[in-house]
Amino acid sequence: MARVSRQSSQQFPRQRAHPVDEVLPVGKLALYGFQHVLAFYAAAVIVPILLGNSLGLSHDELVYLINADLLTCGVASIIQALGVWKIGAKLPLVQGVTFTAVSPMIAIGLGAGGGTAGLLVVYGAVITAGIATFLFAPFFSKLVKYFPPLVIGTILTIIGLTLIPQGLQDAAGGAQLIGKPEYGDPKNLLYALGTLLFILLMVRVGKPYLSSLAVLLGLVAGTAVAWLLGDVQFGAVGEADWFGVSTPFHYGLPKFELFPIVAMVVVMLITMVETTGDVYAIGEITDKKVDNDTVARALRADGAATVLGGVFNSFPYVAFAENIGLVRMSKVMSRFVVVGAGVFMIILGLLPKAGSLVAVIPHPVLGGAAISMFGMVAAVGIQILGKVDLREERNALILAVSLAASMLPTVVGPFFDRMPDDVRAVLDSGITLGGLTAIVLNLFFNVFTRRKSMEIDWDDIEDDESAEPADPYFGGAATR
């Protein structure tokens, strides 16, 4: 019997796990996971900072929001990457607070009087929208045929292009310095440029292992140089508490009001499109098949995380496009790396002092790293758009008008100032406005038409990809 078993094992060798499902050694899991945390940290804490400052929260309340956000991010990322029941895409997707919700939440909170009273109305809307997302996920996933590569690629390109200015703003010193002489100081720009050049150098001349850690090494090197020059202070680390736990409904029971709920449900519909694009993007990068069930599982994770956020004093969650860029740059595709990152986030959420240590990374250093990652998100979108026949006038118009619409809130700030608050809260976001434009125009031009030539089927594209040679640069099918 033993001889037969050996022969069988030789004839039928165990199939190697897909890189997404590969479990790396603990040391690598920790190192790569921590790199995800560093790449994600600044974007993760910016939402509670913006909302807390807008609602007039105290310093202690603001710190509490940040800790609650990090804790929930960790739990949500583990659920998304590991998969629990029918929740979680089982892909290397990091969960973070969506930027799309910032303006609507500020409008809701200020409309309710600001402060913690405003937060209670926000949390009521967040919890309800999260439940709606969870329940609607399987139905939304069946609508994927209405989100062809043209729409997904356009939205991802918009996400990258609209996030790049944030990286550039950090490179200049951060939003908190706008209007001050320090903003745009040559020293800040040199920190950002030095960090970016260091990352590029690691990718260019470093061995594969060092190349995969380029962003982490760039952040460490940039911070070390800033510390040597006296621009990094660790005083806040010493003053921070060692341990702090976020408790459910810390500010009181949430309040459920109709208009805030409607506004937040609209926001979550946009984030569902964003997550759908992110799932296809990560599938493109990792060469992992994505189907309707995968999308539904990812959206359920968004909904569950958003409900969890509302209960534990945090906000709506979405698959983070920033870390998709990191996956592509590092070529580390294991979803268990994201599980490791989730563990680090939970630790940071429970240890304010550890979170403060990460927070000392200077804004210009973060900006230099962010520029490369946000640009990679846009590059993934452009790669997907390579599957689209842009010689077709309608397709080209959808892309052109959507890109133009996404620039409105960024380039022409006061464009929506005279509109009603409920309209402004939804549209005063480049990602939201550009994404909605792409969806509506695609329905108008490519769906509500009898011309079968305009139908785009993901299954046909996947069949075409399987027949194409591998692209040594992107790890998937070669683009034409």
Instruction: Give the model confidence (pLDDT) of 72-82 as tens digits.
Output: 999 999 999 99
Q: What integer pLDDT is reported at residue 475 of this predicted model?
A: 38
0.75 exceeded by pTM: no
Q: 96 pairs with which residues across the strands?
A: 318
Which residue's entry shows tokens 């603990």? 26
Predicted pLDDT at 349: 85
Residue pair 283/92 in contact (Cβ under 8 Å)? The answer is: no
Q: What is the pLDDT of residue 87?
A: 93
Instruction: Report the C-alpha gap between 436 and 118 in whole angstroms.
Output: 28
Q: Residue 182 burial by CB count (10 A; 0-12/13-18/19+): exposed, middle or buried?
A: middle
Contact between residue 312 and residue 87 where contact means Cβ atoms under 8 Å apart? no
**What is the per-residue pLDDT for 302?**
93
pLDDT score, position 308: 93
**How many Å apart are CA 25 and CA 385, to the nearest integer?**
36
Per DSSP, the residues of 387-421 read TS-TTSHHHHHHHHHHHHHHHHHHHSGGGGTTS-H
Cα 351–117–259 angle (5° rounding)? Answer: 115
pLDDT of residue 480: 31
pLDDT of amino acid 8: 42
**pLDDT tens-digit map of 136-160:** 998 887 777 777 888 888 887 887 8
pLDDT recorded at residue 117: 85
pLDDT at 479: 34
Q: What does the CA dihedral 196, 197, 198, 199 come to, rounded to 10 degrees?
A: 50
Instruction: Name residues of the chain where pLDDT drops below 70.
Output: 1-15, 42-43, 46, 50, 53, 59, 103, 175-176, 206-212, 236-237, 240, 322, 354-359, 413, 420-429, 450-480
Task: For 362, list phi and psi in degrees, rounded to 5.
Answer: -65, 150
- Amino acid identity at 431: I
